[in-house]
Amino acid sequence: MKNTKFESNDIFSIKFVSKEEVIAKFISANDDGTWVVSKPMILTATQNGLGLMPFVLTASQAFSDNIEMNSNTFIAIATVDEEMKTAYYQSTTGLHLL
């Protein structure tokens, strides 16, 4: 496994060369340059500000739990703040954290 600053189950943000920004749960990094992430969500504008929606809208639930992404298409990666982490958990689980 490639060495990254993330550990399994960390919530992090990816900025792609295509300018999309995705928040996902880190699972692992492979030697071939792919990263396995769970439940990637894309930022979207809503009437109430920023919202999250599935990155791959047509993926089955089983597929969205483990998606491989090519790390060569990343221009930046970062940890997310607590507010965004809470929003991510609410969007992916349906639970509202206090």
Say how many domains are in the chain.
1
CB contact at 8 A, 14 and 69: yes
- Establish if 52 belongs to a structural domain: yes
- Establish if 6 belongs to a structural domain: no
Domain containing residue 21: CATH number: 2.30.30.100
Given a cut of 60, whether residue 63 has pLDDT beyond it is: no
Mean pLDDT to the nearest integer, 29-33: 93
* Alpha helices, H only, the chain: 61-64, 82-93
User: According to the model, what pLDDT value does residue 21 have?
Assistant: 93
- The CA distance from 24 to 10, in Å, is 8
Q: Which domain holds residue 41?
A: 11-93
- Binning pLDDT at 50, 70 and 90, where does residue 2 land? low
- The CA distance from 23 to 42, in Å, is 6
- Establish if 2 belongs to a structural domain: no
Mean pLDDT to the nearest integer, 73-80: 94
Given a cut of 70, whether residue 1 has pLDDT beyond it is: no
- Binning pLDDT at 50, 70 and 90, where does residue 51 land? confident
* pTM summary value: 0.84
